[in-house]
Amino acid sequence: MSAMLQVTEEPLADEDIVLLRRGRRGRFLTAVFAGLMFLLLASSAIMFVVLGASDRSLRRGADGVVILLCTVAMTCFAVFLGRRLLRLPQAWRRFNRVLKGRVPKQIVSGHLTGFGPAGSPGICYVFGEQRVDVALPFWNEIARDTREGFRPVTAVALTDLPVRLHLLTLDPDAPPVLLLAEYPMSAQAWNSVEEVSNADREAVRKEELSLRKFFYVLALAPLVGSLFLGPLILLAAFFVLTGFVLGMRSPRLKRARYKHGVRGLVEEVVTYRVRASNSNISTLVHNYRIGGVMYRVEHLGQAAAPGQRVAFEYLDGTGIMGPSALFFRIEDEPVMTL
């Protein structure tokens, strides 16, 4: 590190341990899925080799080329997955040692002059001539390899002010995990905890029913069109089914007992593009750092910018990817409901 940066060590706080525990959720299922894929690819590659060796006719002409290409491709993928699986036990042992508080975190302090996406998945803080690449919980594979994960579309922050980064190094050859980023205004953030009221449940239910009605009305157009073009009835059925599913009661809201309120100045905005599985449809997911803590908030309308004051509420039953927000509001602007 440059002389412009001050680096100290501190033990992990309870909040850090909670954040890391949430970040490791789902790793067992991911490992099981990767193991099944490895077995499938390896067995398929072996089967193609046996077929090619036992039947000479399959080794001639176009069939032979196809079998060779498939065998090579599946073997390469199997080797790739196998190497990743072999590194898992060591990474998990290292991560479990961190959760026991045996590894200190580093506090990097300096005058922030730049901020943006890093070269690898993650974000980058610039302190003069020095760059500090970091990985973010939930968006990077902190329980396995912080060099892997999602790459942000945009990343902006307040600059030209002092910043303290709380970093945890899991692998000397990989970017550290960013636990907290303290800005001068971080202490001014306001947090609250309240019970989820019936009014909250009714407001969310009203939004769900409104969304269902929207798709039902949308289904009327292809339904009428099906009188002239029969296959349009399938499009109408799709809209009806979509409205029915999206209008169902939120199970997370049903289980939640408490809601958390956050209000403060936006210090960073990191936006990711998330594509739904088996679909070309993608959505932008905004992450706001307020009070030094990063919150994932999915909302309608325009995103907030660094320096704007915002307020939002989220449920205590947080999932793998972070809080489930009830509402999001930029000061002096209308409420944006989820």
Burial pattern 177-198, b for ≥16 Cβ within 10 A else e, equals bbbbbbbebbeebeeeeeebee
297-326 tens-digit pLDDT: 877 778 899 999 999 888 765 444 455 567
In terms of domains, do 10 and 159 share one?
yes
CB 131 within 8 A of CB 123: no
Confidence (pLDDT) at 182 = 94
Q: Is residue 119 part of a domain?
A: yes
pLDDT of residue 2: 47
If asked whether residues 247 and 260 sit together in one domain, one would say no
Torsions phi, psi for 308 (to 5 deg):
-85, 150
104-131 pLDDT per residue, tens = 899 999 999 999 999 888 999 999 899 9
208 and 268, same structural domain? no
107, 177: one domain: yes
pLDDT surpasses 50 at 40: yes
Is residue 132 scored above 90 in pLDDT? yes
Predicted pLDDT of residue 160: 93
CB 214 within 8 A of CB 277: no
Cα–Cα–Cα angle for 199, 325, 156, nearest 5°?
Answer: 145
- Residue 24's pLDDT band, with cuts at 50, 70 and 90, is low
Q: Within its chain, how far is the Cα of 51 from the centroid?
A: 42
Q: Which two tokens stand for residue 229?
A: 């073009």
Angstrom distance (rounded) from CA 153 to CA 295: 17
Task: Based on the fold, state whether residues 150 and 213 are members of the same structural domain.
Answer: no
In a domain, 169, yes or no: yes
Last residue of a domain, one of 66, 81, 99: 99
Q: What CATH number corresponds to the domain at position 326?
A: 2.40.50
The mean per-residue pLDDT over the stretch 284-290 comes to 90
Given 84, 99, 114, the domain boundary residue is 99
pLDDT the model gives residue 171: 82
Residues 263 and 280 in one domain: yes
Tell me, yes or no, whether 121 and 135 share the same domain: yes
Q: Is residue 296 part of a domain?
A: yes
> In the numeric block, which tokens belong to residue 298?
């999915």
Indicate whether 83 and 95 sit together in one domain: yes
In a domain, 305, yes or no: yes
Residues 10 and 133 in one domain: yes
The per-residue pLDDT for 1 is 45
Flag whether pLDDT at 67 surpasses 80: no
Q: Give me the mean pLDDT over the 56-61 stretch.
A: 67
Q: What is the DSSP string of 48-80?
A: HHHHHHH-GGGGSHHHHHHHHHHHHHHHHHHHH
**pLDDT for residue 276 is more than 90:** no
In a shared domain, residues 33 and 92: yes
State whether 135 and 234 are in the same domain. no
Based on the structure, what is the number of domains in the chain? 4
Among 99, 123, 149, identify where a domain stops.
99
Average pLDDT over residues 207-216: 86
First to last CA, the chain: 43
Residues 93 and 226 both lie in one domain: no
In a domain, 1, yes or no: no
For the record, the structure tokens of 287 come out as 């992450």
Q: 129 is in which domain, residue-wise?
A: 6-15+103-183
% pLDDT > 90, the chain? 24
